[in-house]
């Protein structure tokens, strides 16, 4: 079912080759034309005045907390008088919370960022998202990174990699592939995150099943793996030396930890590495609609996107962003295609089968 779930449109829209070309030193043009159904919105004095009058906004996000708070503080410094309340949790928990709030008539979320692009398919279908396309996005972003109806914009791109603790594993002995994780020598020495909590891991699990099959995860489950929740947890367990190898998680936390002097190393598996894109959107029922729109515009500006690359160590769809010196570009890594539509169809099956296989 997974092989057939990717349509031609999905391949064009979410092609990893496009992502790699976009984020390389020479940026490729969009792979397809896009007919906008709304006019791009500039940041005007009137919008800023209305946003300051509201004075606050709620940002629901799956970003790790230091990154989300960094964005919040940077926005507050740029636009004094507007407070950003960060509500951070795993993407699947954010999705559940918003669903529960909407069913109860609670309108609390202004802007949302998720690590699971499938959520935006559901929210768009439900009519919960407000059409708002920042002018800078329309001017600079390749068309595959925003909705033609202005309902979402890709805020960040990252990878779900492998990794290891360099104090516990020699480089020549470290796993180089997903297949290597099945070696008996790693039994009881690995850590892994959960797709029912983390959008990154939901997306990565879908891609692993699509490429390697459920039989791979059934074999991996026999390795007595430490199960954690968020994709941010496995890198922390590695740095603390609680486990020697990371079976999934995210690469950007490992990069941050390594730059901070921690004994960790990133591994991009030879079969291919799952790619994850995290969009953001303004909610139709936002209690602070003007502050929400101003934040959505700023979040996808060159200033904020450069902060994403320099501080969060993730990748940006903004073609004017400069990669940090020494950073590995995506076109140097063998990547798997993401497919939010496929994830949306398979998410419940993934949660159920994963829980059964790993007994968690």
pLDDT in tens, 166-220: 999 999 999 999 999 999 999 999 999 999 999 999 999 999 999 999 999 999 9
The 10 Å CB-count burial string (b at 16+, else e) for 300-323 is bbeebbbbbbeebbbbbbbbebeb
Would the CA dihedral through 93, 305, 297, 274 be positive or negative? negative
Res. 328 pLDDT band, cuts 50 70 90 = confident
Residues 246 and 159 sit within 8 Å (Cβ to Cβ): no
Helix (H) or strand (E) holding 234: helix 233-240
Residue 318 neighbours by CB under 8 Å, 6+ apart:
140, 141, 300, 302, 305
Res. 34 pLDDT band, cuts 50 70 90 = low
Q: What global pTM score does this model have?
A: 0.86
Phi-psi region of 188 (alpha: psi -120 to 50; beta: other; left: phi over 0): left
Residue 23 is predicted with a pLDDT of 44
Residue 100 is predicted with a pLDDT of 97
Other CB atoms closer than 10 Å to residue 148's CB: what's the count? Answer: 12
Question: Distance between CA atoms of 68 and 86, rounded to whole angstroms?
Answer: 7
Residue 10 is predicted with a pLDDT of 38
Q: Which two tokens stand for residue 330?
A: 């995506």
pLDDT in tens, 43-79: 999 999 999 999 999 999 999 899 999 999 999 999 9
């Amino acid at each position: 079912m997974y092989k057939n779930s990717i349509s031609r449109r999905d391949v064009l829209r979410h092609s990893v080759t496009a992502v790699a070309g976009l984020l390389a030193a020479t940026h490729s043009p969009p792979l397809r034309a896009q007919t906008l159904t709304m006019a791009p919105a500039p940041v005007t004095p009137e919008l800023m005045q209305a946003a300051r009058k509201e004075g606050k906004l709620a940002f629901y996000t799956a970003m790790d907390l230091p990154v989300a708070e960094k964005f919040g503080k940077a926005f507050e410094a740029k636009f004094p008088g507007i407070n950003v309340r960060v509500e951070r949790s795993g993407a699947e928990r954010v999705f559940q919370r918003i669903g529960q709030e909407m069913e109860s008539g609670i309108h609390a979320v202004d802007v949302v960022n998720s690590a699971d692009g499938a959520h935006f398919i559901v929210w768009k279908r439900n009519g919960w998202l407000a059409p708002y396309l920042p002018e800078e996005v329309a001017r600079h972003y390749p068309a595959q990174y925003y909705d033609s109806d202005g309902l979402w914009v890709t805020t960040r791109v990252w990878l779900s990699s492998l990794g290891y603790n360099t104090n516990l594993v020699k480089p020549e002995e470290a796993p180089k592939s997903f297949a290597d994780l099945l070696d008996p020598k790693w039994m009881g020495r690995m850590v892994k995150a959960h797709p029912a909590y983390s959008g990154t891991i939901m997306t990565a699990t879908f891609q692993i099943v699509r490429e390697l099959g459920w039989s791979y995860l059934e074999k991996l489950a026999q390795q007595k793996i430490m199960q954690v929740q968020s994709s941010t947890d496995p890198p922390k367990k590695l740095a603390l030396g609680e486990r020697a190898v990371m079976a999934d998680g995210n690469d950007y936390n490992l990069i941050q930890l390594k730059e901070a002097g921690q004994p960790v190393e990133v591994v991009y598996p030879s079969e291919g590495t799952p790619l994850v894109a995290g969009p953001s959107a303004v909610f139709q029922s936002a209690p602070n609609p003007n502050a929400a729109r101003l934040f959505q515009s700023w979040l996808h500006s060159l200033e904020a996107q450069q902060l994403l690359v320099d501080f969060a160590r993730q990748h940006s769809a903004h073609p004017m962003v400069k990669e940090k010196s020494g950073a590995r570009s995506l076109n140097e890594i063998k990547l798997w295609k993401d497919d939010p539509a496929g994830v949306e169809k398979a998410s419940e099956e993934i949660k159920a089968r994963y829980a059964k296989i790993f007994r968690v």
